[in-house]
């Protein structure tokens, strides 16, 4: 589909540009509260870490209301039996349900919540999907990949998973892990929402103990392939003293860290305040901040978005 930047670029103020952001970094660098600076979020919480968002709101560091933070905590069951790990399938069901929430007649939303959400009424329409974290999601992806490889009789890793208390992931399994993770991310992008993927950090160390680089903590080849799907790849860290500190986002690469920003107007280091970042981007592109990063709403719009994306794709 041929078009022009005047019609589809960020400065057009249309729905054409969603925010696709990967944030990675060490524990405690405020990645999760920073991501929730985006409005109208729904979060797949694989790390059981939403208390950090509650703290940020109550401490006045995040301008959100507790009742507006919608999330689903999805963690493995407290058992050694990995066959009961349904993280991968359940997380996809949750996304489907959240998109379907927007199909409910707004006049009936409160009644719907009483029937399906134990009476908790929260915002029906949303724009941003946060995956927290991709690192923990990988655990569920590996389990699903091994099950599928076993079902197709392509690998014996699943049947040998209890040997010495370890879950072996052989070379032949890696392709399935990569494919399933990519499938999950494609589903997320296909919702037409802004996507924020949070990851811990992986330190690539040589045999002699020298640090060679820092990457998102994902499984194997995913550390190189997943960042390519994101326009923005930022590294989170904390600066200052123990008593007086702030979260900082590195948006430009250095010899150790893989970062990038296609927005083109961000400094190499930005304070982790999404309101300020959004206002800065809006000013640069000459649009209203409230017009930035709007998303599709409901299953019909999501399907239309997927169709448009498919038409725009060029296969060579």
- How many residues are there in the chain? 316
Q: For residue 270, is pLDDT > 50?
A: yes
Distance CA 248, CA 237 (A): 5
| 173 Cβ contact partners less than 8 Å away, ≥ 6 residues apart | 142, 145, 146, 149, 155, 157
Alpha helices by DSSP H, listed for 13-65, are 31-35, 51-58
Q: Domain residues of the chain, as ranges?
A: 5-309
CA 223 – CA 102 distance, rounded (Å): 34
Q: How far apart are the first and last CA of the chain?
A: 15
DSSP code at position 208: T
Cβ-based neighbour number of residue 95 at 10 Å: 20
pLDDT tens, position by position, 148-195: 888 888 888 888 776 655 667 778 888 899 999 999 999 999 999 999
Q: Strand 260-261 and strand 232-240: pairing?
A: antiparallel
d(CA 54, CA 191): 27
Instruction: Quote the pLDDT of residue 77.
Output: 78
The beta-strand segments (E) located in 47-165 are 70-73, 128-132
Pick the closest to residue 272 from 243, 249, 240, 239 (CA basis): 249
For residue 192 the two structure tokens come to 């037409």
Which is nearest to 74 in space by CA: 43, 52, 41, 100? 43
Can you tell me the distance from the alpha carbon of 155 to that of 157, in angstroms, rounded to the nearest whole number? 6
- pLDDT confidence tier of residue 316, bands split at 50, 70 and 90: very low
Cβ atoms of residues 134 and 197 within 8 Å = yes
The model carries a pTM of 0.91
Give ∠ CA 221-34-11 in degrees, rounded to 5. Answer: 85
The CATH architecture that domain 5-309 belongs to is: 3-Layer(aba) Sandwich (3.40)
Cis peptide before 133 (omega within 30 of 0): yes
Looking at residue 209, what is its pLDDT? 86
Share of the chain above pLDDT 90, in %: 51
Which pLDDT tens digit goes with each residue over 105-120? 999 999 999 888 888 8
pLDDT digits (tens, 9 = 90+) for 275-304: 899 999 999 999 888 888 888 899 998 888
Q: List, for residues 52-108, the tens digit of each pLDDT value.
A: 999 999 999 889 999 999 999 998 877 767 778 889 999 999 999 999 999 999 999
Over 60: is that where the pLDDT of 241 sits? yes
Neighbours of 120 (CB within 10 A): 10
- Predicted local distance difference test score (pLDDT) of residue 1: 64
pLDDT at 118: 80
Q: Residue 162 has what pLDDT?
A: 67
CA distances from 169 to 146, 148, 161, 163 (A): 8, 13, 9, 12
**pLDDT class for 262, splitting at 50, 70, 90?**
very high
């Amino acid at each position: 589909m041929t078009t022009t930047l005047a019609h589809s670029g960020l400065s057009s103020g249309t729905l054409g540009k969603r925010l696709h952001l990967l944030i990675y970094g060490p524990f405690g660098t405020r990645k999760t509260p920073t991501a929730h600076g985006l409005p109208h979020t729904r979060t797949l919480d694989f790390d059981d870490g939403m208390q950090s968002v509650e703290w940020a709101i109550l401490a006045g560091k995040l301008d959100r209301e507790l009742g507006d933070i919608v999330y689903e905590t999805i963690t493995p069951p407290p058992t050694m039996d990995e066959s009961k790990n349904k993280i991968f399938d359940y997380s996809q069901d949750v996304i489907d349900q959240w998109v379907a929430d927007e199909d409910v007649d707004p006049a009936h939303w409160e009644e719907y919540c009483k029937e399906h959400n134990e009476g908790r009424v929260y915002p029906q329409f949303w724009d941003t999907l946060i995956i927290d974290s991709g690192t923990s999601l990988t655990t569920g992806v590996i389990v699903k990949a091994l099950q599928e490889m076993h079902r197709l009789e392509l690998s014996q890793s699943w049947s040998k998973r209890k040997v010495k208390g370890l879950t072996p992931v052989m070379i032949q399994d890696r392709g399935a892990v990569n494919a399933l993770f990519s499938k999950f991310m494609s589903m997320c992008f296909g919702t037409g929402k802004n996507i924020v993927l949070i990851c811990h950090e992986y330190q690539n160390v040589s045999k002699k103990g020298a640090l060679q680089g820092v990457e998102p903590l994902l499984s194997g080849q995913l550390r190189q392939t997943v960042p390519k799907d994101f326009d923005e790849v930022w590294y989170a860290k904390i600066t200052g003293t123990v008593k007086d500190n702030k979260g900082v986002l590195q948006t430009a690469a250095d010899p150790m860290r893989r970062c990038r920003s296609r927005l083109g107007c961000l400094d190499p280091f930005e304070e982790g305040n999404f309101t300020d970042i959004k206002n800065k981007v809006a000013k640069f592109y000459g649009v209203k901040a409230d017009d930035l990063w709007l998303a599709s709403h409901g299953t019909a719009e999501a399907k239309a978005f997927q169709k448009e994306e498919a038409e725009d794709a060029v296969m060579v």
